[in-house]
Amino acid sequence: MFIFEKKVRFSEVDAAGVVFFARAIEYFHMAYEDFMSSVDLDLHQQFIKAGTALPVVHVEADYKRPMKLGEILSIHVGVESVGTRSYTIQYQIDGPDGTLRVIGKSKHVFVDANFKSASLPDSMKQKLVELNS
């Protein structure tokens, strides 16, 4: 499982010093980008060179405990499932003391240059399947 560390910044919290709930999705995506890059599936190169994309079609988050200003969060990323045209990524955010803060998922669909759903490229699918086992 890939782990991304993120420090909670002042601009990410409310007056009580607690992370605004929608930031969890942002944290998921930051970790997802670095995860994909770490397994040689660089999303930036895919968009620029290939003209294809992997938009999010579903995202969910369950909040267990608040994330607070100054904490270093560990965001765990893994592949939950792989289909013909899409895959689902799972996330777990832990606080510095190891307590579970948020769990979630995001589903991504492969689209071609015309933004129409297409089959995952074989090389991408193979890497994601290997990471799922």
CB 101 within 8 A of CB 48: no
Q: What is the DSSP string of 6-65?
A: EEPPGGGB-TTSBB-TTHHHHHHHHHHHHHHHHTT--HHHIIIII--B--EEEEEEEE-S
Active-site residue, selected from the candidate residues 14, 40, 62, 112: 14
Active site residue 34: no
Residues annotated catalytic, as ranges: 14
